[in-house]
Amino acid sequence: MSSLYDDLSSLGLRPADLPRHIAVIMDGNGRWARSRGLPRIEGHRRGVKSVRTIVEACSELKIEQLTLYCLSSENWKRPKKELDLLLGLLEQFVIEERSEIARQNLRFSIIGQREGLGLNVLREVAKTIECSRGNTGTMLCLAINYGSRAEIVAAVKSIARQVAANNTTPDDINEDTISSSLYTAGMPDPDLVIRTAGEMRISNYLLWQISYAELWVTEKCWPEFRTPDLLQAIKDFASRDRRFGGLKDQD
């Protein structure tokens, strides 16, 4: 049975067109549910189906990394009942997806602050990370209790401690020093950022890492997002002229 990667030419794509790392801001679960007269949690449950679909598609496309913004550090302002349900869905997901992670040869990781996630969630996350440690396929990274400003503050503090301990000097600090001190140390920067539900914001997501990422926004809410939408985002990404601040010879 052929995979999406095998069918790239029929999709109008080449391997060189594919982004190395896709980051997604999964927005609109609540709006999708409200528009259908459903409680917000039903939108989150439906959103899990989109996660499964897009993870499998990225795996088939041999995307090196997929990072999903699951829970921001600002989301703690939401009602406790909704947060409890979200954390319950997260725990259920990391347990139920272990077999799929193994089948698809996925590597699994999370970024963000562990505080507040609960011992059960952290235990199951750790088990899933360990189970996937030897895999070699797509890295599935979940951003949980994540905020980019807090990440950068933590990186600055870490570097400051290194300076105080005389392990480095201010003059030695460069972009690599900062990158290696972030939660995402060792991961490639995203090439493509997808945001659903039509919102034109970054929302404190990977601010350092997406400096040169291409942004793609769809009006579809996350529970509606499926493989054809992902492929359209990749096609649009492939059509863009990425100069990284430089100019082509003819410009």
The domains of the chain are located at: 18-147+190-235
Question: What is the C-alpha to C-alpha distance for residues 109 and 181, in angstroms, rounded to an integer?
Answer: 17
Burial class for 251, CB neighbours closer than 10 Å (0-12, 13-18, 19+): exposed
Residue 44 has pLDDT above 70, yes or no: yes
75 has catalytic annotation: yes
Question: What is the C-alpha to C-alpha distance for residues 154 and 90, in angstroms, rounded to an integer?
Answer: 25
pLDDT digits (tens, 9 = 90+) for 61-84: 999 999 999 999 888 888 888 888
The distance between the two most distant Cα atoms of the chain, rounded to a whole number of Å, is: 60
| pLDDT value for 2 | 81
Q: Single out the catalytic residue among 6, 17, 29, 75.
A: 75
Residue 1 has pLDDT above 80, yes or no: no
- Per the model's pLDDT, the better-predicted residue between 55 and 86 turns out to be 55
84 has catalytic annotation: no
pLDDT digits (tens, 9 = 90+) for 155-197: 999 999 999 999 999 999 999 999 999 999 999 999 999 999 9
- Tell me the fold of 18-147+190-235: Undecaprenyl pyrophosphate synthetase (3.40.1180)
pLDDT band for position 230 (cuts 50, 70, 90): very high
State the average pLDDT over residues 120-140. 97
Q: Single out the catalytic residue among 6, 7, 17, 27.
A: 27
What percentage of the chain exceeds 90 in pLDDT?
A: 87
Residue type at position 66:
L
What are the respective helix, strand and coil percentages of the chain, to the nearest 5?
Answer: 45, 15, 40
Which tokens hold the place of 48? 């899990």
- Work out the mean pLDDT of the chain and round it to a whole number: 94
Residue 244 has pLDDT above 80, yes or no: no
Burial class for 162, CB neighbours closer than 10 Å (0-12, 13-18, 19+): middle
State the average pLDDT over residues 210-239. 97
| pLDDT value for 245 | 62
DSSP-assigned letter for residue 211: T
What are the phi and psi torsion angles at 237 (to 5°)? -60, -45
**Nearest alpha-carbon partner for 62 in 14, 102, 134:** 14
| pLDDT value for 66 | 98
Q: How many CB atoms lie within 10 A of CB 167?
A: 10
